Structure 1
């Protein structure tokens, strides 16, 4: 899907998700290409606070995106 579609899809997913899901999972837009998505998620996971929705555009070679969710890492105490 195009970026604007992915942005809308993410917005709807966040609206439907309950608080425990929003607390426990990242819901992000990634490039649709598997290798580009893997690189984006790897970099995102290191410093999630430094990434915005449109950060994924730098990783995409074909302007196709998807919305994915994955569990947040437990923070070290």
Structure 2
């Protein structure tokens, strides 16, 4: 999906997620390409506070995105 669609999808996911999901999982926009997504998630996981929704654009070669969720690291 295009970035604007992914942004809407993420907003909807955040709105519908319950508190425990929001606390335990990252819900982010990533490139749709698997290897680009893996690199983005790897970098994001190191310092999530340095990333925003737009950050995924510089990792994408084809302007296609998806919304993913994954468990936050235990601190």
Using structure 1 for the length normalisation, give the TM-score. 0.97
Structure 2 alignment gaps of length 5 or more: none
* Alignment match, 1:61: 61
* Alignment match, 2:33: 33
String of CA shifts for 1:9-68, please: whole Å, max 9, x gaps. 000000000000000000000000000000000000000000000000000000000000
Structure 1 alignment gaps of length 5 or more: none
* Deviation >3 Å, runs of 4+: none
* Alignment match, 2:52: 52
Number of equivalences: 75
Using structure 2 for the length normalisation, give the TM-score. 1.00
* Alignment match, 1:15: 15
